[in-house]
Structure 1
């Protein structure tokens, strides 16, 4: 454990922000949305899911084989993505007469879709799990993480937690009162300022120190684990909030060549004390204090700035200078006024929102498929995560190729393109199924309102839609749009509308 002995003092000069020593690669050509998606869910991963799903079904019932193949698995994923865009309260409604959605219902039958959903699996239940609480999705995590780590990294990176909403019974469920979704699975994410995910770690109850890294506490260990994928010689700058921050973390990251910046709690700044909020409030908004210390030859600067309340920010690469101005509303004067804002505060506000941006991209069209199986919820979340990453990579390629924004796909268009390709690309869906799709029979409230129900004579006969009647008829109700018998022997038309 690192022993911190600090002597805080007033700084003498400003600090220079490290110069970025790399650049994002330029794209040679723009790929199709499905090609971005297949870079993550490649053939090897899909074949593994198919194999484990067939094995799981056989283990449950040796007399009933699932017979799932890769094309059908892609169809299933495509229908799930369509369901996230065209959301209905229940999954069976996509095949119902009243709310039938051809993009889903024409791809596969309802019972087959539910059979795949019930049996989809990612790991062999008979294999030793070594007390791994994420054993059922471990192969899926191990397949996706290297692909996230291989993505090009920008200079500004941030670490924050993400909540995957869930309120059912689960030993993995966490509670964070200040989050919009307070209950759910906690995922720690490393991403850039636009929301491109480079690494993630699912919280399962205990956070051990990363290999070769010191144990500096649960929150600090998480940052060190996620920061392992950051090259230390390119001057990447890492941001995080006060739940993670400590002097030990700043020093350990600096020793790894990663300058850091983050808000910090007063009790984690050993030997340092700032003025109370009440004293700073008397001096007015924009008041700030700056102090510095040197720990293991690493200089750390902390700034307390008072806006609506006091906030403390510490960094190994930034300082209060240069000071800029920001507009704030003054209640007494009833107008906007300019207040001082230290540079370290401006940097934090500008580059810390990457995980929130990623959360927003996922929340726009989140997959809402109900399931008691936690691993199925994680699978759908990973699909959402991959599509968000794919769209951000697509936007980066568009920028490098100087494609104007008007000609770029938005997230909705990109998502539906992936769904359409998964449902149709490389698959023969032209075979007509036997029978015709059933017409939607209107509810009793419409049938019995006695308004506008006129018989119309059609040129072709169809079966009468009154239950238990098998006769053919040429008469159709102009409002209900169903064929009904109307002759001297059968008056199904009147009986249907009573």
Structure 2
């Protein structure tokens, strides 16, 4: 983890996240897979070609066409010289059909994401090494859109992305992803079994992220925030014993018989009413606050004081009113949305090219996470580009720097559009050209 970084351009920040080590890994395993699949037709991929391939994927995030072959069509409505001058359509298809980041003969048994494990480990390592130093981190779930068949595909009702892979993510307040881990179900061998057996799946995710933070800095005063899927009084106490502060919303049946007013009675009180209990020895606070509904928060660090005033709209009085809000609720609201912010940033310009293999969407998501993190570092160090211009800078830099040394020759326009203007009878007057003038002079 670094507290500051030198002034770098966007391409250099991208290299910190998705640099030569990862590119060389893709080149090596893609060539290995292509040679094993069909040695007679394999054509080794170079590092420059892989960079161009990555650049095209990034380009597809903000210039979207219905079919990826349209990037190479010689038509006035979709021809894109920056793409077809960097890589041919057939070469892109060849790389995409053979793209790999593992050796299929050495996959770890029991890991449903073994084909991507090395890539995920390298990204987590790069994210942690270059993370900005902060105190507050949030833990939540993130969805990667996928509609094909895979045993880990999830459906979560009410989410912006309902179908896809679920990731556990630890992020800063502004959305820098420090750690991620794909969800594999309750039988996962990757998630620490001793955590899971003791406190359940949600707590095991938080404790694994806590271990990651402690490896980065054992003395830093980290403060974790998470929602009611993860929170229990036992988890809050375990984190206190580890020297990590924690705050999270908690379900009513997980407050370990804390003597607080039941939700059904608290809902009948005026808006802004709150009740709380705390332990003197463990310094664990449980607070219930009546807002639109009753919210319960547990913490081993935050307190009730100072009580702030927040503006809410009253349906009865038909105007905005001020209601009390405990400090623990305010602190939770200020620091919990980091994972949602990263999802929002990634979703704005998500890679649009799709493949038939189940892991291709995860590779594209890993690339989008790397770009989003690189932009977060860039902004944290005074960069002026917004997310779109940052992505454009990286994509065009890759396509211009690593393209082949010659441009594609002129080709005939697509026949789909050529005939409709060939016989329309408009603007087909013969114009005098140098070649035509010489021909007429020779004839005469």
Residue 54 of structure 1 pairs with residue 31 of structure 2: yes
Q: Partner of 2:243 in structure 1? A: 257
Report matched runs for 1:402-413 at 5 Å.
408-413=384-389
Work out which of the residue numbers 80, 83, 95 in structure 1 matches 2:72.
95
Q: Partners of 1:410 and 1:419 in 2: how far apart?
A: 14
Q: Partner of 1:225 in structure 2? A: 208
Q: Which moved more, 1:132-141 or 1:184-193?
A: 132-141
Report matched runs for 1:224-303 at 5 Å.
224-231=207-214, 232-293=218-279, 297-303=281-287
Q: Partners of 1:458 and 1:338 in 2: how far apart?
A: 79
Report matched runs for 1:432-443 at 5 Å.
432-433=407-408, 435-439=409-413, 442=417
Q: Partner of 1:392 in structure 2? A: 376
Task: Call closer, same or farther: CA 1:415–1:196 in 2, change over 3 Å.
Answer: same
| Mapped contact 2:17–2:371 kept (Cα < 8 A) | no
Q: Partners of 1:444 and 1:287 in 2: how far apart?
A: 73
Displacement of 1:449? 5.5
Q: Which moved more, 1:276-285 or 1:126-135?
A: 276-285
Indicate the SS of the match to 1:49: helix
| Mapped contact 2:138–2:171 kept (Cα < 8 A) | yes
Q: Partners of 1:259 and 1:183 in 2: how far apart?
A: 33
Task: Call closer, same or farther: CA 1:51–1:430 in 2, change over 3 Å.
Answer: closer
Report matched runs for 1:294-373 at 5 Å.
297-373=281-357
Report matched runs for 1:57-76 at 5 Å.
57-76=34-53
Q: Which of the pair has the greater relative contact order for Cα pairs under 8 Å at 6+ separation?
A: 2
Displacement of 1:125? 1.2
Q: Partner of 2:406 in structure 1? A: 431
Greater share of helix:
2
Q: Which moved more, 1:359-368 or 1:285-294?
A: 285-294
Displacement of 1:289? 0.8
Q: What do you get for the CA RMSD once the two structures are aligned?
A: 2.3
Indicate the SS of the match to 1:194: coil
Q: Partners of 1:454 and 1:438 in 2: how far apart?
A: 18
Task: Call closer, same or farther: CA 1:388–1:445 in 2, change over 3 Å.
Answer: same
| Mapped contact 1:165–1:184 kept (Cα < 8 A) | yes
Q: Partner of 2:111 in structure 1? A: 132
TM-score by length of 1: 0.81
Task: Call closer, same or farther: CA 1:140–1:24 in 2, change over 3 Å.
Answer: closer
Q: Partner of 2:176 in structure 1? A: 196
Task: String of CA shifts for 1:33-67, please: whole Å, max 9, x gaps.
Answer: 11111122222221121111111011111211131
Q: Partners of 2:50 and 2:288 in 1: how far apart?
A: 54
TM-score by length of 2: 0.91
Task: String of CA shifts for 1:349-392, please: whole Å, max 9, x gaps.
Answer: 11100001100110110002222212221111111000000001
Provide structure 2 residue ranges, at least 5 long, that are not aligned to the other structure: none
Task: Call closer, same or farther: CA 1:24–1:379 in 2, change over 3 Å.
Answer: closer
| Mapped contact 2:135–2:221 kept (Cα < 8 A) | yes
Q: Partners of 2:137 and 2:41 in 1: how far apart?
A: 49
Q: Partner of 2:157 in structure 1? A: 177
Displacement of 1:128? 4.4
| Mapped contact 2:85–2:403 kept (Cα < 8 A) | no
Indicate the SS of the match to 2:323: strand
Indicate the SS of the match to 1:188: strand
Displacement of 1:86? 0.5
Task: Call closer, same or farther: CA 1:212–1:271 in 2, change over 3 Å.
Answer: closer
Task: String of CA shifts for 1:387-441, please: whole Å, max 9, x gaps.
Answer: 000001011111xxxx7xxxx111111111111121122x4644244x4133456
| Mapped contact 2:351–2:364 kept (Cα < 8 A) | yes
Displacement of 1:174? 1.1
| Mapped contact 2:350–2:368 kept (Cα < 8 A) | yes
| Mapped contact 2:85–2:406 kept (Cα < 8 A) | no
Task: String of CA shifts for 1:207-235, please: whole Å, max 9, x gaps.
Answer: 56648857311110011011112234221
